[in-house]
Structure 1
Amino acid sequence: MTATRSTRQRDVISRILHGAEGPLAVSDVLDRARGDLPGLGVATVYRTLKLLTDQGRIHPVTLDGETRYEASGQGHHHHFSCQDCGRVFTLHTCPVALPSGTVYPGGFIVRTHEVTLYGQCPDCATRT
């Protein structure tokens, strides 16, 4: 019975992360997963996130000192963090033209980059 429960939890959490509009905090994953798994505990969410990370199905993203999780395999992308509602969105266009190998002033060689934009999401902007 434990293996079946564990598989269901893993499937639900994986589905939530793959369907999310951006990386989710542990509390977001827990809240959304409880719709399908009312008795789900936070320790199970942490264990499942670690397992899915170890399997390469998801990966952690640190934004403002908080670890969030998103599905792997999305290719090069960045994030937008709404300062009003706190949601984080995935942006599939890159606002920075710094390909790998670019030599940045001072002799810094770029291998990769991450960008997070901050402001108001469309939902919050229509409320103001």
Structure 2
Amino acid sequence: MADQPDFDALFAAAATVQPRAYAPYSCFKVGAALLGDDGAVYAGCNVENAAYPVGACAEAGAISAMIAGGAKAIRAILVFGEGGELVTPCGGCRQRIREFAAPETPVAIAGPGGIRARFTLAELLPASFGPANLPR
């Protein structure tokens, strides 16, 4: 595995799925792509339904694809959205990402023009509660 995640590949995957998002209620389409511990890229987009706001975020879709693909951990993730503000993961997705990622995992935030910001998961979810907090 490479030391630096291929953010170009994550950007391309997220940019590809973002227009496919099903967002008839919010009209806010988001794509996400992550690098799994198996070296594969997994993507997801948000999917809304008539029981709005019940739906699935793009990050949750990418995580589900990763688990279905057999990977167990997130090495990096990129979230792609449009608008003037950064489209960072919602609180629930920050916790979902934490379930499969270490605090130092890079999280890139992108829009149509490219990557707009980079964070670590710890910056987005400081002093997080994760799997290590639970007895095994």
Q: Same fold (TM over 0.5)?
A: no
Larger Rg: 1
Report the TM-score when normalising by structure 1.
0.28
